[in-house]
Structure 1
């Protein structure tokens, strides 16, 4: 009888164990390919925030970048993602890369992640390439398929009438850096900064960022109003001076199904550890609510993020 009782207790304990494990919430968070800003941002967040969130399991999902993140959020394949504001806006139509797909009605704002520039990189010793116009007749890597980088680079080259005069290549950021170093492409395009692929080249071989004439920036902003002109500081890449270029705002977005209490905990941990996140990747230093600008894209903030911002007095009146 005693042995039977002990066995019954052991069985009961084992049966109860899975129920305890199931209380942990899994969160799939889309970033980008290795070498891209979003990849490292999500990687840093997963490791740093996990220290304070024992009941939440954040999994970094490698993707093509913003376009794929938005599409997979819409399909319900991701819980969170880093997404360009322009993609949030276009997914409501839907138009552009979202044409003929489902509308992004389930997208909810969490925070502004950062403002990202789009720029073209060549090796420092390349005297043939100085401005965007010089890309005509050249082989240019535009980023990995499904990425926001391809979207941005194509928009910019289209606005300036250059898109039909280049030989485009689609490849990961790391592969693009190697291809430029090996002479397989003349330049590659990058969205957001600092990007690991560019930093590595800047340190080892030296890079040149192609300049945008003022009239080119005006044309880009008028053609695609979700861009604005900003200045990439001379501290971003070794040997690269401050350069004016088109910027777009990038957001941390969640699926509406993610519970409000889970999002509130993650957001609270992110702001409490913002310095640590920024030490892992500088872009995290830019994180802020930016509620009005996100909601102007056609979607509301996530209730969990809203609850946190209201508690902290960060919700706009």
Structure 2
């Protein structure tokens, strides 16, 4: 009797499995198919976005963290994070190689990369497109009041830090000196120092002046100002215009009175900090991230946040705009000047 019950139960169980496979299992299979693969954008898979920034002590890194938070809070299905890097030149090459999705870069460096010039000679990058410009990266020629250096022409024969060869700062120094009929190789004693080492050198007297390209106020220059009377070299209006005419990615800028203890504003020039994207990213993804960033700049706690606006985001871009960013700015009624 027990044997018969056992085989009856087993037979009924087998029959139930067969019926499930032939009938109701189709719905289960369809549901499983939807959650595992689904349509593009509906798969439930997370899109990871790595934002390449700069050094931890700079401006790019904290802004990148703020942008990552904004994207994570406003774009469904995306997980963004900010990564510290060597900044502009390294970021362009990393994007080219697929080692990131978004990146901070100076507009002049992006142009050099797109054109295969200077530090990108023989290494043209054609798969990076603009998302939008952010704020000015001011070219500051830093010295002290005691140096006697008042103009760019006064740098002739002096020991001057121009940044590392291949860096954005070095390219800026080269451009500015050339407009003033000076050469890095022939007319100054060039030193290739980082910002902190440059200001330390000015403080201890081993160098006379330094080119520093950075948003103001710059921490390294503030540190120098705490121990010495800082002077920022002024640009003549005619030279500013000549620089803009020769190199389209420069714009006139001014360092405000009181910055570094300055007694009056100082006219200079700037390039722009810009956000760029790998051109392989979808139009929808870049549209959504662009919209999230430029419509939530009030959530950026860094002082540069107030300078980041949709209205100015196409100023000085210099390279092709990503279709997703273009879609957003077209809808917002923003066009390049």
Place the TM-score, normalised by the shorter chain, in its bin. 0.7 to 0.9
How many angstroms does 1:235 deviate by?
Answer: 5.3
CA–CA separation in structure 1 for the residues paired with 2:86 and 2:165? 6
- Quick check: 1:116 aligned with 2:147? no
How many angstroms does 1:32 deviate by?
Answer: 2.7
The 8 Å contact of residues 133 and 315 in structure 2, kept in 1 or not, is answered as no
Aligned position for 1:84: 106
Aligned position for 2:272: 249
Q: Which range is displaced more, 104-113 or 64-73?
A: 64-73
- Quick check: 1:202 aligned with 2:222? no
Aligned position for 1:38: 60
Cα distance 1:315–1:30, how it changes in 2: closer, same or farther (>3 A)?
Answer: same
TM-score by length of 2: 0.73
Alignment of 1:10-159 (within 5 A): 23-47=45-69, 49-52=71-74, 55-102=77-124, 104-123=125-144, 125-144=145-164, 146-159=166-179
How many angstroms does 1:257 deviate by?
Answer: 1.7
Deviation by residue 1:176-213 (Cα, 9 ceiling, x = unmatched): 33333333432221113212222333345442101223
Unaligned runs of 5+ in 1: 1-15, 17-21
How many angstroms does 1:255 deviate by?
Answer: 0.7
- Quick check: 1:181 aligned with 2:170? no
CA–CA separation in structure 1 for the residues paired with 2:85 and 2:255? 26
SS at match of 2:45: coil
The 8 Å contact of residues 111 and 289 in structure 1, kept in 2 or not, is answered as no
Aligned position for 1:226: 249
How many angstroms does 1:46 deviate by?
Answer: 3.5
User: Which has more radius of gyration?
Assistant: 2
Residue 282 of structure 1, aligned match among 301, 304, 309: 304
How many angstroms does 1:120 deviate by?
Answer: 0.6
CA–CA separation in structure 2 for the residues paired with 1:114 and 1:48? 18
Deviation by residue 1:36-88 (Cα, 9 ceiling, x = unmatched): 44344324434555455574333333333323322332333332222233333
How many angstroms does 1:121 deviate by?
Answer: 0.7
Q: Which range is displaced more, 108-117 or 305-314?
A: 305-314
The 8 Å contact of residues 129 and 210 in structure 1, kept in 2 or not, is answered as yes
Cα distance 1:237–1:271, how it changes in 2: closer, same or farther (>3 A)?
Answer: farther
SS at match of 2:198: helix
How many angstroms does 1:280 deviate by?
Answer: 0.8
| Structure with larger RCO (C-alpha < 8 A, sep 6+) | 1
Cα distance 1:68–1:158, how it changes in 2: closer, same or farther (>3 A)?
Answer: farther
How many angstroms does 1:236 deviate by?
Answer: 4.5
The 8 Å contact of residues 137 and 167 in structure 1, kept in 2 or not, is answered as yes
The 8 Å contact of residues 143 and 231 in structure 2, kept in 1 or not, is answered as yes
Cα distance 1:262–1:225, how it changes in 2: closer, same or farther (>3 A)?
Answer: closer
CA–CA separation in structure 2 for the residues paired with 1:142 and 1:267? 34
The 8 Å contact of residues 53 and 64 in structure 2, kept in 1 or not, is answered as yes
Unaligned runs of 5+ in 2: 1-34, 36-43
SS at match of 2:115: coil
SS at match of 1:267: helix
TM-score by length of 1: 0.77
SS at match of 2:126: coil
Deviation by residue 1:16-46 (Cα, 9 ceiling, x = unmatched): 9xxxxx9333222223334444344324434
